[in-house]
Chain A
Amino acid sequence: MTLTKRSDKRKFEDLRPMEAKVGIISRADGSAMFKIGKTIALAAVYGPRELHPKFLQNPEKGVLRCNYNMMAFSGSGDRVRPGPSRRSKEISLVTEKALASVVDLDKFPNSVVDVFIELIQTDAGTRCAGITAASMALADAGVPMRDMVSSVAVGKVGGKIVVDLSKEEEDFEGGAVDIALAMTKRDKKITLMQIDGEIKKDELLKALEMAKSATDKIYALQKEALKAKYVREK
C-alpha cells in the first residue's frame, strides 16, 4: 500500500501545527509548553541544585537528569498506570542523552539540573515534543548551553519519506518506519536517533536531510517563544 496523500492534507515535508510558550510554571527555574498536532508536552527545569543522594554527585561537573512521564489520562486507549514504566524510563534516558551535549555544567560540580517532562495529551511524537519543550525550558532557566536542540519524528509511511508522523501514519496498514530524531541548531548534529522498522540507508539519509529543515522550523518557533518572554515590545 503506498501513501499518496496524508490524511490531514499535509505535504510530506510538513509539520503539524505547532505552539510554543516559555515561563508557564512560576515555581520552576525554567519551563515551557510545546504543542505539535494534538500532542502537548510541558517541561520544567529545577537547578542547578545540590544532588541527593550524595554518591550520585560528580565533583568534576553538574549532572543533567531528565524524567519523562505521561499523565494517567493522556494515552489514546486505556489509562496509563501512574509511576515509571520500562518505556518511560528508556525515554527519560534518551532524552537526557539528547540534551546532555548542549548543556555546559562544568561550573556546577556536585549539582544536578532536573528536567521534568509531562505529557497532557498524546497523539504521536511525544518524546520529540518533550525534548523540544525541555530545550526551551533549559534556556528559560538560564542553564549555560552551547546550542539549542529541536526534535521531530521522520519516517517512511507507505513507501514515502515523511516528516512528523501522526498516530494514524504510525499505525499505517502498509507498514511504517518511525525515526525519532533530535538535532542541534548550529551544526545539525544528531543527538537522538531511534528507528523502529526497516529502511534502506539511502532512504534514511533522505529522511535525515528532511529533518534538517523540519528542525529549523521548530527552532524558529522555540526562539520566538523565548524572545516573547525576554524581549520587551517597543
Chain B
Amino acid sequence: MTDLIKQHIEKLLENSKREDGRALDEYRQPVSVEYGVSAKSAEGSARVKIGETEVIAGVKLDLGEPFPDTPDEGTIIVNAELIPLSSPDFESGPPSIDSIEISRVVDRGIRESKTLDFKKLCITEGEKMWMVFIDIYPINDSGNLFDACALAALAALKDAKFPAYNKTEAKIDYTKKTTKGLPLADTPISITVGKINDKFIIDPTHEEEQAIDSRLTLAINERDEICAAQKGGEEPLSIEEIDQIADLVIKKSKELRKKL
C-alpha cells in the first residue's frame, strides 16, 4: 500500500467523502444473494456479491460422533479459504492467519446467535451427529470479505437440505436430497465498521481497507442483540465509539437481512 493512496483516502474522508462517491454508511450496490450455485454437488450453496466483491459458500453435511462434553448436539465447522484466484495478495499454501480469522468470526456469528439448533443435529445421543461443514471462498476480493463471507455462509445454510440418511446402514446417500432444511431459528447479520482517523465507514473497498486503523465486526440477531464481536486493527476504540458503531451496525443489519 502506497502512502499516497492512504493520504488520498484520508483527505477525502475529512470532508466525509469516499473515492467511489458513497456515503460513509452506504454499502456498494448491488448487494445480491444467489442460491444453489453448486446445487448438484453441495447440500446448500450461495453466491454473494457486494459491489465487485464476490464470495461463494457451500454446505456439506457429514456424520460424526458427538463431542464428549456435548453428547446430544451436532456441530458446525466453518472454513474460509482466501484462495489466490481472488486477489493478487493471496498466496497458495496452508491457511493464512487472515483466513483463520474470517473463519472464526463467521463461526462465532452463527454459533453464538444460536441460529442453528445444535440439539436438532444430534441423531443418536453420544453416538451419531450431523456435522455441518461450511466452506467459504472469495472469488473476487474487492474489499469487505468479512461481511460478504458471513452473509454467504448464512445464505448457504438457508439453502441447505439434508441428504437422505439410511438408518440401518448408518450412511448418507448423497445422491438423494430430502426437502428438509436445516433447523434455523434466527438470521444473524455480521457487519464490520472501519475507523480511519476519527471517521467510521462500512463496506470498505480493498484500498480503503488498507487505510483502516481499527475495525469492529458485530453480529446482530433479529432482536437487535449483539451476539458476536471481533475487534481488529492496532488502534484502540473508546466506549463512546463502540456505542456509535453498535448503533450504526444495528441500523444497517436490517437493510442487509432483507437481501436474504
- A residues neighboring B (CB under 8 Å): 24-28, 38, 40, 42-44, 46, 49, 67, 69, 71-79, 82-83, 114, 116-118, 120-123
Tell me the B34-72 residues at the A interface (CB within 8 Å): 37-43, 45, 52, 54, 56, 58-60, 62
C-alpha gap A217/B42 in the complex (Å): 30
Let me know if A44 and B38 touch, CB within 8 A: no
> With contacts A25-B139, A72-B133, A77-B174 known, is A120 near B86, CB below 8 A?
no
Let me know if A82 and B79 touch, CB within 8 A: yes
Most buried by B among A71, A78, A114: A71
12 contacts between A and B (CB under 8 A): A25-B85, A25-B139, A27-B140, A28-B86, A69-B83, A72-B60, A73-B58, A73-B135, A74-B41, A74-B42, A121-B38, A121-B40
How many contacts between A and B, using CB within 8 angstroms?
97
C-alpha gap A44/B41 in the complex (Å): 22
> With contacts A67-B84, A72-B135 known, is A26 near B58, CB below 8 A?
no
> With contacts A116-B84, A118-B137 known, is A72 near B38, CB below 8 A?
no
Shortest A15–chain B CB gap in Å is: 18
Known interface pairs A25-B54, A73-B42, A120-B37; 20 further A-B residue pairs with C-beta atoms within 8 A, sorted by A's residue number: A24-B140, A25-B139, A27-B88, A27-B141, A27-B142, A71-B38, A71-B58, A72-B79, A72-B133, A73-B43, A73-B45, A73-B60, A74-B38, A74-B42, A82-B81, A116-B83, A120-B38, A122-B40, A123-B40, A123-B41
Shortest B169–chain A CB gap in Å is: 15
Let me know if B142 and A26 touch, CB within 8 A: yes
Which B residues are CB-close (under 8 A) to A72?
58, 60, 79, 133, 135
Shortest B90–chain A CB gap in Å is: 9
Which A residues are CB-close (under 8 A) to B38?
40, 71, 73-74, 120-121
Most buried by B among A24, A27, A123: A27
Let me know if A79 and B60 touch, CB within 8 A: yes
Q: Does any Cβ of A come within 8 Å of B244's Cβ?
A: no
| Partner pick for B84 among A24, A83, A114, A123, CB 8 A cutoff | A114
Let me know if A42 and B139 touch, CB within 8 A: yes
Q: Say what secondary structure dominates the interface of chain B.
A: loop
Which partner residue on chain B sits nearest A43 by CB separation?
B85
Shortest B142–chain A CB gap in Å is: 6
Shortest B149–chain A CB gap in Å is: 14
- B residues neighboring A (CB under 8 Å): 37-43, 45, 52, 54, 56, 58-60, 62, 79, 81, 83-88, 92, 94, 133, 135, 137, 139-142, 174, 206
C-alpha gap A118/B140 in the complex (Å): 12
Which partner residue on chain B sits nearest A76 by CB separation?
B41
C-alpha gap A114/B41 in the complex (Å): 27
Let me know if B88 and A73 touch, CB within 8 A: no
Which A residues are CB-close (under 8 A) to B140?
24-28
Shortest B129–chain A CB gap in Å is: 15
Shortest A43–chain B CB gap in Å is: 8
| Partner pick for A73 among B83, B94, B133, B142, CB 8 A cutoff | B133
Let me know if A78 and B62 touch, CB within 8 A: yes
Let me know if A42 and B135 touch, CB within 8 A: no
Which A residues are CB-close (under 8 A) to B84?
44, 46, 67, 114, 116
Let me know if B56 and A79 touch, CB within 8 A: no
Which B residues are CB-close (under 8 A) to A27?
86-88, 140-142, 206
Let me know if A42 and B85 touch, CB within 8 A: yes
Shortest A224–chain B CB gap in Å is: 22
Which partner residue on chain B sits nearest A47 by CB separation?
B88
